[in-house]
A and B are shown apart, each in its own frame.
Chain A
Amino acid sequence: EAAVTQSPRNKVAVTGGKVTLSCNQTNNHNNMYWYRQDTGHGLRLIHYSYGAGSTEKGDIPDGYKASRPSQENFSLILELATPSQTSVYFCASGGPGLGSSYEQYFGPGTRLTVL
């Protein structure tokens, strides 16, 4: 069974603070993705990665950085958090790996509130 985990599941941060969201996958997938989910916008791609050491900008990368130190781990970093970044964040993995499906598998999400 494909598995993607995220931590923390809930986070409250202050404006101007640094926030790091973590994601781990055990699917041996090359590709990993960070999305944010907002009412009326669905899921929007922030950053993605093709493998360890690579990060690429998605559709809404401003205010976010990403880090992929290993095949299994992909982090999303908010250096200076703002209230507009209050959202639910989802990590996903995809690609050849465990099983034959090439679809994206999502984690359970992190609810971030920036005060």
Chain B
Amino acid sequence: GDSVTQTEGQVALSEEDFLTIHCNYSASGYPALFWYVQYPGEGPQFLFRASRDKEKGSSRGFEATYDKGTTSFHLRKASVQESDSAVYYCALGFPSSGSWQLIFGSGTQLTVMP
């Protein structure tokens, strides 16, 4: 079946470091790809989406490019801040009844130290 793999369970950085969180997917069709962020005590919230090959999604300084060739959607940020500490989820989705049917990866805990 369709699946999403996030290889890093935890990432620890210092402020102003460069961030990369890896996301690879396996899907039988042509999914949209998503990043969600979850702050402590809250539900996940949508960060951005890309729907086609080579499309870049971005929000709040984070970005990722849909790469169908390598089946990847890696999250990057040039300079992280302590406030970016959160759990990041990569997901794939197919349109369904006016919204998206999502399959999530296992999540990556990002900790940014001042």
Contacts and interface: CB of A to CB of B under 8 A. Distances in A.
A90 B99 contact: no
A104 B100 contact: yes
Contacts of B97: 30-31, 50, 95
Contact of B99 (A4, A43, A44, A102): A102
A64 to B, nearest CB: 18
B49 interface: yes
Contact of B102 (A29, A45, A96): A45
Interface residues of A, number: 28
Interface string B34-53: 00000001111110010000
Interface string B7-23: 00100000000000000
Contact of B106 (A40, A104, A107): A40
A108 B42 contact: yes
A41 B6 CA distance: 11
Name the interface size band of chain B: 20 to 34
Nearest to B48: A103
A74 interface: no
Given A42-B106, A42-B107, A103 B43 contact: no
B98 A104 contact: no
B28 interface: no
Interface in A1-57: 4, 29-31, 35, 40-45, 48, 50
A48 B41 CA distance: 23
B98 to A, nearest CB: 4
* Interchain residue pairs A-B with the least CB separation, the first 10: A106-B43, A94-B99, A95-B98, A95-B99, A42-B104, A43-B104, A42-B106, A103-B46, A31-B99, A96-B98
